Every structure is written in C-alpha cells, then in structure tokens.
Copies of this chain bind each other. A is one copy, B any other.
C-alpha cells in the first residue's frame, strides 16, 4: 500500500473481550498515534466506558460499544481487527462479525499474518501485511533522496522502535519540522495509513521495498523521514530483514533503541551492549552509505524515575552520544542530535 492510495478512514476497532490486553497493541497504537479517526471500540466487557476510562495513556477518547450494530451508529468506514488471536486464527464469532461488517459496506483492515481477503470474497479488505506485487530491486535511487532520512534500530527485537519513531515524529512536528513516518510493520502501517511490511516481502526485495518506502515518503518534500526499524542486527531470526532495511532505506542518521534488560535475545544469543550495537550498525551501514548513530532512545519501562535517569545517563556515557526515553521523558535530546546530523553523502566511487 503506497501513499497515493491512502483513503481517509474512520475506524471501529474490534477488540472483543481483550481491549486492554497487550496483544491489542495495534488498537492502542492506532488510538494514540493514528492519523485516522477512531469512531469507537467494540468490547462488550467494557461497553459503556470510553477509551480513556480504560486506558488513559492512549490520549484519545471514543466510546466503547457492545456490538457491531451499536458500532455502526458511529458511521465507521473501516473495522480494524484490533487483537492478534492467540492461536493465530480468528475465532468463528469474529469471522461472523467481520462478515456482517463487510455486508454493511465497511472495509475490513487486518494486520494478521493470515490474509483475510480470500476469506471475504467481494468485500473491501485491506490486508496490511500483504506487500505490493510490483516491488522493485534496490536501485540506488534512495541515495539521492532530498529529505534527511533517520532509521531506528535496536539492540534486540521488540524493544520499542516503532513507539520511539512515533514519539520522535510527534516531537519533530511540534518543533515545526514537516515529518513523514515510513512504516515497515503492521501496527505502524495501520497508524500511518500506508507502508510496507518488510518482513512479508520476498527476500530479494527487502532492500528494494525499503528504498521505495523512502522514495514515497519523500514525495511530500518533508524536512525529515523517520523510518520504522525492524528486528535487530543481533537477532538471528530477523537480522536479514534488519540489514535489508538498513541498507535499502539509505539513512543519513540512525537512532539506536535500547532497554535495561540483560535477558538473552534468545537461548544462546546474548543481548549486545548499546556501545557494541551502535558501532556495528555504523560499520555495516558504512559499507553502503555512512550514517552515524546519533542518539540512543532508551525504553525505561518498569524502572523507577531514579533508575531510569541513572540508566539513561549510563547509556549516554558508554556510547558517547545523547540518550533519552522519548515515551517517558522528552524526545528533545534525540531530536536535537538528529537535527545536528548532516545529510549524509553517499560514498563516491
């Protein structure tokens, strides 16, 4: 899905029985960060309350309703499958509800691995993870993009790269910078209304898809393009996607996302220190286009204020670059570092 195809949406969010669960993160992301309207949330357990009653930090309110019927009173254009089902497959009642929604003329939006378009023939379905079928190979056109391009990367996967990107985007916009968020995963794509799920493309096209995303984001001539990172250079299951995105998006600067965990990435694979990760991201990026790691975005969830401040200071001292938690504190130090970074020059050969 590219920017040109992007309609205006007004969402009913289907999160029956599990709106406050952590695997409703696409719902939460859409509410807090999404560019589209949110009409209501469907969750019969919480019906009668509003979003902010249930989850104040989402910062946007709308009613929680008991049924599709009630949801339709709020005139949504689209219904989002707002919870990832435990077994991977949607329960039958949800399928029935989605079919009824489609019959009433509403678009179904899903970020699930399981594609829904084949399940609802004739319906208007946006399978967010389905890649465009005309992806190019990497061409090098991304080297010549005019706006400054900044990519988030991580010391591990699932460390908050998307949230960091979105909080930095907010701060950038507040500071007057015209900013585009280039989404590379399902939640980010629902939030932005467009993007490419880079882990769903055929491997040959990871870099080409990433490059095309950036070219697309550059069309509105923003000051800044924030590319949502994926995986981690040190996570064996996803490092290929991470590197394809790093090279394909041709960033001018990199923001490293880290947290205080010392847990292994997976059995047998230690979590690298931010200083090691930062150096390796820079060295590997420089094979194609030099880009400095300019700041560390620290996820301090679970730490006390004092612990968080101490940890942020430690990371900054170890890496020698500014560090901050943009969700908890302020994205300003990160944004300043991004602003100072020059537009990188491609290598001349």
Contacts and interface: CB of A to CB of B under 8 A. Distances in A.
A62 interface: no
Interface in A29-78: none
A199 interface: yes
Given A140-B267, A143-B268, A238 B204 contact: yes
Interface in A304-349: 346-349
A284 B208 contact: no
Given A280-B287, A349-B268, A207 B233 contact: no
Interface string A236-253: 111111111101100000
B137 A237 contact: yes
A272 B138 CA distance: 19
A244 B289 contact: no
A143 B267 CA distance: 10
Contact of A207 (B204, B240, B272, B349): B240
A1 to B, nearest CB: 17
Contacts of A248: 236, 240
A160 B289 CA distance: 25
Contacts of A200: 202-204
Contacts of A283: 280, 283
B199 A201 contact: no
Given A208-B237, A240-B247, A346 B268 contact: yes
Interface in A238-285: 238-245, 247-248, 264, 266-270, 272, 280, 283-284
Contacts of A288: 234, 236, 239, 269
Contacts of A266: 140
B207 A237 contact: yes
Contacts of A140: 236, 266-269
A172 interface: no
A314 B247 CA distance: 30
A13 interface: no
Given A138-B237, A240-B243, A244-B203, A280 B270 contact: no
